[in-house]
Amino acid sequence: MQDFQGRTAVVTGGASGIGLAIARRLGREGMNLVLGDIEQPALDEAVAAFDAAGVPVLGMETDVSDVESVRRLAAAADQRFGNIHLLCNNAGVGGGGAILEPDDLDVWEWVLGVDLFGVLHGIKVFGPSMVAHGEPCHMVNTASMAGLVPTPGLGSYTVSKYAVVAMSETLSLETADTNLGVSVLCPGFVQTKIADSQRNIPEHLVRLEEPSEEEEFVRQAVAELISAGIAPEQVADDVVDAVRSGRFYILTHPEYAAQIRHRAEWIASGTAPSSWEI
């Protein structure tokens, strides 16, 4: 997809972090913007900023884990702008502890609902009409480096991101002869608020017990790595470049290439995974 000017992009999780950075970059490219986000105050602020800058924008509170909410977003986008040319299935949350933790199924349901089913809902709701309109278009599904290499202590997050990578790979093969390009975004640590995802956990899923000492250690370690990560704007630049060039894997941190090769070697040799420093 080469032409951005006057085309329309949908970005979920578009009111903060990577999603907002992508939206800002796409706005500078001349695209109409449709932002879906579960945080209404942040969404209102983002929409007001785009309005002030003269960027055509529609913002709508959206819970990507609810397919009906995504369908409402699609209907509003169609009514306002018509055909969708770029879909960034970006909304995501962090969470989850060790896989053997017995009492965290509520957290698994939440994380997979947003990080896996949120992407699937976007694909199924927007994808068929994007192919049907026949114009050049592209889909970017946000996974993570945690979708390419195992990440101990973040079980549900890692499983969801592996699934997004697999889903994107399969979708790319299935749509190879269509007008729809596909990319999967696998960033390392980026300066976002994902370590504070608990702020958006549904009330009925909130665990009453305090986090374990191990869980709190992992959370703080991840928060420190995120604070030292790259800027979201760098990720947005990589996304636009990948859409223009048709690149499938968007790897924002080339220093992790060795870890990806190690995993391939484990698979080929039948060797059990081993840990590394991140």
Altogether, the residues listed in the chain come to a count of: 278
C-beta separation of 38 from 70 below 8 A: no
* pLDDT tens-digit series, residues 160-212: 999 999 999 999 999 999 999 999 999 987 776 554 545 556 655 555 345 56
Q: Is the pLDDT of residue 276 over 70?
A: no
Residue 57 pLDDT: 98
> Domain for residue 274, yes or no?
no
In a domain, 55, yes or no: yes
pLDDT digits (tens, 9 = 90+) for 115-148: 999 999 999 999 999 999 999 999 999 999 999 9
pLDDT of residue 212: 60
Q: Grade residue 94 by pLDDT with cuts at 50, 70 and 90.
A: confident
Range from 22-36, 86-100, 178-192 that averages highest in pLDDT: 22-36
Query: Residue 220 has what pLDDT?
Result: 65
Decide if pLDDT at 45 tops 80. Answer: yes
Q: What is the pTM of this model?
A: 0.89
Structure-block tokens of residue 91 = 């909304």
**CATH code at 146?**
3.40.50.720
Please state, for a pLDDT cut of 70, what percent of the chain lies above it. 85
Residue 152 has what pLDDT?
A: 85
Q: Nearest-CA neighbor of 7 among 24, 29, 23, 22? A: 29
Joined together, the tokens standing for residue 159 give 């499983």
- Of 36-40, 121-125, 177-181, 258-262, the least confident: 258-262
Per-residue pLDDT, averaged over 26-45, amounts to 97
Q: Answer for the pair 32, 111: CB distance below 8 angstroms, yes or no.
A: no
Task: Answer whether residue 276 is part of any domain.
Answer: no
Active site annotation includes 157: yes
How many Cβ atoms sit within 10 Å of the Cβ of residue 115? Answer: 32
In a domain, 78, yes or no: yes
> What pLDDT score does 209 carry?
41
**How far from 88 is each of 23, 128, 141, 207, 243, CA to CA, in Å?**
9, 15, 6, 31, 11
CB 57 within 8 A of CB 50: yes
The residues facing 138 across adjacent strands are 86, 181
Q: Is residue 134 part of a domain?
A: yes
Q: Which residues of 235-269 are buried (b: 16+ CB within 10 A; e: fewer)?
A: bbebbbebbeeeeeebbbbeebeebeeeeeeeeee
3 within domain boundaries: no
Contact 46/38 with Cβ under 8 angstroms?
Answer: no
Residues paired with 10 in a beta bridge: 34, 87
pLDDT for 208: 39
Q: Which residues lie below 8 Å from residue 44, measured CB to CB, with a gap of 6+?
A: 59
Domain count within the chain: 1
Q: Tokens representing 242?
A: 């990948």
Mean of the pLDDT values across residues 70-76? 98
- Whether 142 maps to a domain, the answer reads yes
Alpha-carbon gap, residue 18 to 142, rounded angstroms? 10
Q: Which residues pair with 184 in a beta bridge?
A: 141, 249
Within a domain: 277: no
d(CA 135, CA 138): 10
Structural domain for 178, as ranges? 8-269
Lowest mean pLDDT among 8-17, 123-132, 248-257: 248-257
Residues 102-114 pLDDT 10s:
878 888 999 999 9
Which amino acid is located at 27 in the chain?
G
Dist. CA 97–CA 157, nearest whole Å: 9
**Partners of 142 in beta bridges:** 185
User: Alpha-carbon distance 86 to 22, whole Å?
Assistant: 11
Catalytic residue among 157, 162, 249, 256: 157
pLDDT band at 83 (very low <50, low <70, confident <90, very high): very high
In angstroms, the CA 144 to CA 116 distance is 12
